Chains A and B, each alone.
Chain A
């Protein structure tokens, strides 16, 4: 990490004395000398890493933190009393990762241990169906989660200082599991235990007042839209493929069933229109959202929305003449 980055990180740690003593690692677990520090608007979170429990995962985190990969990330997932999850730098970082930094990230094998998922534990995030898919994102547990012990998640450390900061971030209003304000990681990096002793971390700053206006900020809204778009890539492809096939079937029915009357042909065509409209609305809807910016009256997102809106009405109008008595 560049020296000015380290200085800034240490300055962020300084301030009021930290509340309470550091949280100790479980008995018998060796902690790395370097601590991962995540600086947020509410204060700093200091994470002690377990290099002997999960050597490959910890090495990757340290490499990424040293390279500045975690700077500008955020916590896009907050489930009260359960988990606060850091975003994947490769998909949600401001500014986006350069190709060089992106090349540092790779999938990691699971490294299981007998450690328990309790409050303050840091464990790697991964895809649900692939235990060897952890890369860079990790979660901080807000409460005990014994069910995760059986599901195979790699524990890489625990929050040594700053659970009060985590608790403050967990006060954020959420929509589903998404905080309505972007919980930014302003800076992230490694400091040694010695540096930590010299510059103890600050206690948490209150950033969420009770009764505070409960609105989604623009950044988070854009993130939400993009997440929806990315998460549904597979269903989108399946729907498009299935829809096109069904429309072809409708055309073939008209071609190969010559005894159909004119009215029936029209009805089969209307079914093809209906299927096509369903596919089109499904695909265009998230597309319009990714292009939408509040305040801009003429942007392409609005135009797509208008097309969907009146297009659907046109389809309903067509469907009202669906089938005549045969």
Chain B
């Protein structure tokens, strides 16, 4: 997801669109007619549902109906959704990096070296399932919510930009600390030990591991830090609203609120927590989908139309569905078969799947960290796109922008 290092790079990432031409630093450039800046990728109901409202409703429903216990229904739903949402979201990253040579040329180490390093980690995990596999799994389990947090920050900044909310040094500081603290709190609490009985975690993918052994006060300090930053961020929003004499659109705050629901109360509701990766994937797919449509349209100079959006969405969706199934079902089965029949190693399939999932996801975290920073002009993140731009022919502003 979009990772933004500072205000300047954020602006580069989200505002340099040759067609929309909404560069914020364009004050020095010849004046152009600014097109209408859309707040949403699709529209308010769809964006709200996908970015967070859907997951908050799911959390409340599951908590009120089933309490904190895991229910088979949630596992079944999650089991189906991984194929429809979660696996395709990993596939989308791979497709985006590898489907064109230019991307591979731009990021040769990520595209061509990192897979070998991850493969070494996977081979090490099969060699030592009680030791190397444990660290490999642990890195994936830590990195995953960290990566969710990066996405939350990126989406918040996109919506802030769309809403015209100025993200200065302190806004960014409090916002990112608030987001990362929620992930840190959840992780630190999960790794804390107060009694010997806490030591061993339930096995994941047939891999048993010990808790790290953090003292409980670490998570409590993180919680206090989170509250301090939340207060600071809310103060800065209130200040902005007072100065601008308008309310900040709720969609800007929704990703943060959603992440807090996922990681603080949500982590106690086991049936809901299973679904969190699906909601994260949905957010990702919404943005990757609109970006894919916009990029292709710009690069191939395709005229916006409903037909284009429908056809390209189906094509892109199918590729990701198939690639996702291949990555997380076909390849693990093939590896399991090879381990059994070629190397005479009788590992349970669930273990092989776990190592494969960890490997693909760690690769995804790397790719995701670089892929959203494409600087080539023709593909420079058209993250301000709206569905209207994709289905309707360009207005006059477009012509002016091209000519400018």
| Assembly CA distance A292 to B187 (angstroms) | 19
- A305-B214 contact given A271-B109, A321-B5, A326-B108, CB 8 Å threshold: yes
Interface of B is mostly: helix
- A288-B117 contact given A294-B193, A325-B107, A325-B374, CB 8 Å threshold: no
Q: Report B122-135 CB contacts with A as 1/0, cut-off 8 Å.
A: 00100110111011
Interface size of A in residues (CB-CB distance below 8 Å):
53
- A275-B212 contact given A175-B200, A218-B196, CB 8 Å threshold: no
Q: Does A211 contact B (CB under 8 A)?
A: no
Task: Report the minimum CB–CB distance from A254 to chain B (whole Å).
Answer: 12
Selected contact of A301 from candidates B131, B196, B213, B218, CB within 8 Å = B213
Q: Report B188-213 CB contacts with A as 1/0, cut-off 8 Å.
A: 10010111110110010000101011
Q: Are B107 and A323 in contact (CB under 8 A)?
A: yes
Selected contact of A323 from candidates B110, B150, B203, CB within 8 Å = B110
Q: Are A235 and B199 in contact (CB under 8 A)?
A: no
Q: Are B138 and A281 in contact (CB under 8 A)?
A: yes
In the complex, residue of chain B having the shortest beta-carbon distance to the beta carbon of A312: B142
Chain B residues near A308 (CB, 8 Å)?
212
Task: Report the minimum CB–CB distance from A226 to chain B (whole Å).
Answer: 12
Q: Are B196 and A232 in contact (CB under 8 A)?
A: no
In the complex, residue of chain B having the shortest beta-carbon distance to the beta carbon of A275: B117
Q: Are B214 and A319 in contact (CB under 8 A)?
A: no
Q: Does B366 contact A (CB under 8 A)?
A: yes
Q: Are B105 and A326 in contact (CB under 8 A)?
A: yes
Q: Which residues in window 270-316 of A have CB below 8 A to B?
A: 271, 274-275, 278, 281-282, 285-286, 288-289, 292, 294, 297, 301-302, 305-306, 308-309, 312-313, 316
- A302-B214 contact given A216-B197, A319-B369, A322-B369, CB 8 Å threshold: yes
Q: Does B386 contact A (CB under 8 A)?
A: no
Q: Does B279 contact A (CB under 8 A)?
A: no
Chain B, interface residues (CB within 8 Å), range:
35 or more
Selected contact of B184 from candidates A235, A242, A271, A313, CB within 8 Å = A313
Interface of A is mostly: helix
Q: Does B121 contact A (CB under 8 A)?
A: yes
Task: Report the minimum CB–CB distance from A299 to chain B (whole Å).
Answer: 9
Task: Report the minimum CB–CB distance from A272 to chain B (whole Å).
Answer: 11
Q: Does B365 contact A (CB under 8 A)?
A: yes
- A309-B196 contact given A282-B131, A297-B217, A324-B373, CB 8 Å threshold: no
Chain A residues near B249 (CB, 8 Å)?
none
Q: Are B208 and A281 in contact (CB under 8 A)?
A: no
| Assembly CA distance A77 to B132 (angstroms) | 23
- A268-B109 contact given A232-B131, A305-B212, CB 8 Å threshold: yes
Q: Are B139 and A224 in contact (CB under 8 A)?
A: no
- A316-B193 contact given A228-B130, A278-B121, A321-B5, CB 8 Å threshold: no
Task: Report the minimum CB–CB distance from A146 to chain B (whole Å).
Answer: 18
- A325-B373 contact given A232-B128, A278-B121, A305-B213, CB 8 Å threshold: yes
Q: Are A302 and B142 in contact (CB under 8 A)?
A: no
Most buried by B among A275, A281, A323: A323
Q: Which residues in window 1-18 of B have CB below 8 A to A?
A: 3, 5
| Assembly CA distance A294 to B124 (angstroms) | 32
Q: Are B132 and A239 in contact (CB under 8 A)?
A: yes
Q: Does A217 contact B (CB under 8 A)?
A: yes
Selected contact of A235 from candidates B131, B150, B195, B203, CB within 8 Å = B131
Q: Does B376 contact A (CB under 8 A)?
A: yes
Q: Does B113 contact A (CB under 8 A)?
A: yes
| Assembly CA distance A222 to B124 (angstroms) | 26
Q: Which residues in window 228-278 of A have CB below 8 A to B?
A: 228, 231-232, 235-236, 238-239, 242, 264, 267-268, 271, 274-275, 278
Q: Does A221 contact B (CB under 8 A)?
A: yes
Q: Does B146 contact A (CB under 8 A)?
A: yes
In the complex, residue of chain B having the shortest beta-carbon distance to the beta carbon of A277: B139
Chain A residues near B124 (CB, 8 Å)?
239, 242
Q: Are B131 and A216 in contact (CB under 8 A)?
A: no
Which A residues form the contact surface with B (CB < 8 A)? 175-176, 180, 215-218, 220-222, 224-225, 228, 231-232, 235-236, 238-239, 242, 264, 267-268, 271, 274-275, 278, 281-282, 285-286, 288-289, 292, 294, 297, 301-302, 305-306, 308-309, 312-313, 316, 319-326
Which B residues form the contact surface with A (CB < 8 A)? 3, 5, 105-110, 113, 117, 121, 124, 127-128, 130-132, 134-135, 138-139, 142-143, 146, 150, 184, 187-188, 191, 193-197, 199-200, 203, 208, 210, 212-215, 217-218, 365-366, 369-370, 373-376
12 contacts between A and B (CB under 8 A): A239-B132, A278-B121, A288-B213, A294-B193, A305-B212, A316-B365, A319-B366, A324-B370, A325-B374, A325-B375, A326-B105, A326-B106
Q: What 10 new A-B contacts, CB under 8 Å, besides A281-B135, A323-B110, A325-B374? A: A215-B197, A222-B196, A236-B131, A271-B113, A297-B215, A309-B188, A309-B191, A319-B365, A325-B370, A326-B106
